[in-house]
Amino acid sequence: MASTAPELPPLTSGESVDWWHESEAVPYRDALTAMDERNRLVAAGKERELAWLLEHPPVYTAGTSADVSELVDPRFEVIEAGRGGRYTYHGPGQRVGYLVLDLDKRGKDVRCFVHAIEGWVIDTLADFDVEAWRAEGRVGIWTRDIDGREAKIGAIGVRVRRWVTMHGFSVNLDPDLSHFGGIVPCGIEEFGVTSLARLGKNVSTEQWDEKLFARAEQFFGTLETARQKACKT
């Protein structure tokens, strides 16, 4: 299903991680099946960890906190994802990153894990001259839209099973933003959704993947620092 990227240099902190990069859209159900199997194998010590970058055909996914009242117009298939969070949209032009990492080795702190993912995405966006941030009480990655209001440019949703992670993050490069209108994204009605393209940034999936990978060492380093601190307490 996935193609590896042997041109990427090794990471000191991510030496046990396989990197998969997809150029074709992967059906969401297929990705769930692949993640589930990889999670089982990593937990059993039979396979390496995985970072998987891809996109999906249009789909709405429901997290464990999804409220059916927030499914406004189910114009696409709706799939229960098993991750935390509420409804979200995936589709062409949105880059998704799935992480199957062993927190038993990288620190058993889910909050730190989510915080590290957020920082990784925020720093990568900065490499494209887009300022983004976390927002207290609101899940996701936020930026200033062209109308001056805050808007979501990235989503975070994870699941941890056997202390091995699943799911991860998504970033809007150039999706059809009207497709988000079928749901209340992540249960937040008062803020909109934006993309790099809407902000005037023409970023290909290859460019995004390259910059994200360049920041991966920092991401794994954040997890290692948190793990070491936890060991000292």
- Catalytic residue positions? 186
User: In angstroms, how far is the first alpha carbon of the chain from the final one?
Assistant: 42
